[in-house]
């Protein structure tokens, strides 16, 4: 992997760059489409590509359970398996520590508001007897499969091994994503685990890289490949990103950034939980410390206002499930805010979702037709709405990138958010 900064945003940490991977170049900042199970939900790879998407992210935990990381490896890696020809990423499974642990069965998000009752009533989470599908130990995490109830123990080493089998261009160190409701003491304990797991992830990654290089050299000398894979990528070496945690605490965020930057990672992820009101501050704390010459990825964040915030504060990559999740449930993005397609007013509206939008859905279908599909519970409804949403977010980031190149980022930000937020 090679990263080059092409231009910096004056008066901030923002920048425009080029990220070269074995499967193509990513122009940063960029939005990463989430393909949890080697598919971007309800969309074909062609629709994802035509939306302008440059890179897709798969989920380590889910692909490990189904179909199994070795099957993906034998298919030639996640990209070939899902017929995606561009760059790919996989997360570490660390988010499932949160979603299947503290957040399981509860209405808790990694991004909340300071006034959220969950942050004001800690005893709500003092529920060791509550059902959870993930239990955390010092060495790793015990997961109970949501598919069949089987028990799986994932350590940093296991996560890296799975990700090497999945064959993405960029992978992440195993970490613990904590609930925004956890107290300072627990956040400190979790951060120490994450730092220990980061060192172990990096050590295992280097071991596998060396092992793969030796195996590849041996195969070349023998003139054959004995891996049983549909495509030989035994000499392949992914880039590994370390993850900064620390929740909402300034001292922990800065401590984590200092520690993670001291390790030999190829880039960095910014993970964990945030309060909506102070997310920009937390991201800035971290990116003021992380080395400028390496790329930074903000994990699980993708609302339009958060994209502007992250880019202004030095983020290069984002991933989020919202474009397709909202789309499947009938909500679409527009420049003037979100629209709910099941509203009665759209039943006789024969205009596109957005008149000047160049996405497949807007070029071929009307609000009335898409509303009809949702009312009729037709699968195509989610496809058309998700196609529009992914196009909207991917190309919003491209426009933000261009605004930095054109030296009008702050004007573009003000105008865009003024129009968007007034109806959202």
The per-residue DSSP string of 371-415 comes to HHHHHTT-HHHHHHHHHHHHHHHHHHHHHHHHHHHTT-HHHHHHH
Distance of alpha carbon 29 from alpha carbon 400, whole angstroms = 8
Distance of alpha carbon 52 from alpha carbon 396, whole angstroms = 11
Check if 306 is active-site: no
Residues sharing a CB contact under 8 Å with residue 112, sequence separation 6 or more, in sequence order: 118, 119, 180, 273, 274, 275, 276
How far, in Å, are 68, 141, 243, 321, 378 from residue 37 at the CA level? 11, 20, 22, 12, 22
Would you say 156 and 200 are in contact if contact means Cβ atoms under 8 Å apart? Answer: yes
SS (H, E, C) 63-75: HHHCCCHHHHHHC
Would you say 248 and 273 are in contact if contact means Cβ atoms under 8 Å apart? Answer: yes
Q: Which of 91, 175, 266, 316 is catalytic?
A: 91
Bond before 271 cis per omega within 30 degrees: no
Residues sharing a CB contact under 8 Å with residue 234, sequence separation 6 or more, in sequence order: 212, 215, 216, 219, 225, 227
Would you say 159 and 174 are in contact if contact means Cβ atoms under 8 Å apart? Answer: yes
Q: Which of 69, 169, 175, 319 is catalytic?
A: 319
The helix or strand, by DSSP H or E, that contains position 244, with its residue range, turns out to be strand 239-244
Would you say 159 and 92 are in contact if contact means Cβ atoms under 8 Å apart? Answer: yes
Distance of alpha carbon 78 from alpha carbon 93, whole angstroms = 16
Tokens for 186?
């627990």
The helix or strand, by DSSP H or E, that contains position 27, with its residue range, turns out to be strand 24-28
Check if 266 is active-site: no
Catalytic residue numbers? 91, 319
């Amino acid at each position: 992997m090679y990263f080059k900064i092409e231009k910096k945003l004056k008066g901030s940490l923002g920048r425009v760059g080029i990220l070269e991977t074995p499967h193509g170049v990513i122009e940063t900042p960029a939005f990463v489409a989430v393909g949890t199970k080697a598919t971007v939900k309800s969309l074909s790879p062609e629709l994802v590509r035509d939306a302008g998407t440059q890179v897709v992210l798969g989920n380590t935990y889910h692909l490990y359970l189904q179909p199994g990381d070795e099957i993906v490896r034998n298919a030639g890696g996640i990209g070939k398996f899902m017929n995606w020809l561009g760059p790919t990423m996989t997360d570490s499974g660390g988010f499932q520590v949160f979603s299947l642990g503290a957040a399981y069965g509860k209405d808790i998000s990694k991004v909340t508001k300071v006034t959220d009752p969950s942050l004001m009533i800690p005893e709500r989470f003092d529920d060791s007897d509550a059902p959870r599908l993930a239990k955390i130990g010092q060495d790793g995490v015990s997961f109970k499969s949501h598919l069949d109830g089987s028990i799986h123990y994932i350590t940093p080493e296991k996560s890296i091994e799975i990700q090497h089998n999945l064959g993405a261009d960029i992978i992440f160190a195993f970490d613990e994503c904590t609930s925004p409701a956890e107290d300072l003491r627990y956040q400190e304990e979790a951060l120490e685990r994450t730092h220990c797991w980061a060192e172990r992830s990096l050590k295992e990654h280097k071991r596998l890289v060396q092992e793969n290089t030796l195996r590849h050299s041996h195969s070349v000398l023998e003139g054959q490949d004995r891996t049983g894979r549909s495509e030989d990528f035994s000499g392949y070496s992914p880039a590994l990103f370390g993850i900064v945690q620390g929740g909402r605490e300034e001292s922990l965020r800065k401590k984590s950034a200092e520690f993670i930057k001291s390790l030999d990672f190829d880039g960095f992820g910014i993970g964990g939980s945030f309060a909506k009101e102070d997310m920009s501050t937390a991201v800035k704390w971290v990116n003021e410390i992380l080395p400028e010459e390496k790329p930074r990825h903000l994990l699980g964040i993708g609302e339009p206002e958060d994209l502007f915030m992250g880019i202004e504060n030095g983020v290069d990559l984002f991933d989020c499930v919202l474009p397709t999740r909202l789309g499947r449930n009938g909500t679409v993005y527009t420049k003037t805010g979100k629209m709910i397609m099941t509203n009665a007013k759209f039943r006789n509206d024969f205009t596109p979702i957005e008149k000047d939008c160049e996405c497949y859905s807007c070029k071929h279908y009307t609000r009335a037709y898409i509303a009809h599909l949702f009312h009729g519970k037709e699968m195509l409804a989610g496809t058309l709405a998700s196609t529009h949403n992914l196009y909207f977010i991917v190309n919003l980031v491209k426009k933000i990138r261009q605004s930095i190149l054109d030296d009008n980022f702050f004007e573009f930000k003000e105008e865009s958010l003024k129009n968007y937020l007034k109806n959202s």
